[in-house]
Amino acid sequence: MTFDFHDNEHKMSEYLTKKAVEVAKAAGAGKINANPRRGKYSIVPYQSTHNTGGAVMGADPSTSAVNKYLQSWDVPNVFVIGASAFPQNGGYNPTGTVGALTFHALEAIKTRYLKKPGALV
């Protein structure tokens, strides 16, 4: 994956950091450490980050890439297994959800798709 912050990300970070400081002060925070993002993207501080998205799962082919079985809407013999099915990162380690979705997809492939290849939805 190739990624770097652009001017807009830096501006958003500056704005949100200022807003967070305002909220913290209003809440009576005794110590505030405000560090808006600056500079180039580095994976080092994000080594435990789980990047997700890209082939979003949904019920409508006009707004998603795969169906609830992680099967491509456009190419029925393509199944996209992994966290790319998430429309956003839930904020926690996605491994359990990825495992459950994988099991769900593989069960459908085994019990339905292999018997009658084609769209499962």
Give me the active site residues, please: 50
What distances in angstroms separate CA 113 from CA 2, 37, 101, one per listed residue? 35, 46, 16
**Taking a C-beta distance cutoff of 8 angstroms, is the pair 117, 77 a contact?**
yes
Q: Tell me the two tokens of residue 83.
A: 């966290």
Asked if 117 and 76 touch (Cβ cutoff 8 Å), the reply is yes
What CA–CA distance (Å, rounded) separates 27 from 107? Answer: 49
Task: Please list the residues that pair with 79 across neighbouring strands.
Answer: 71
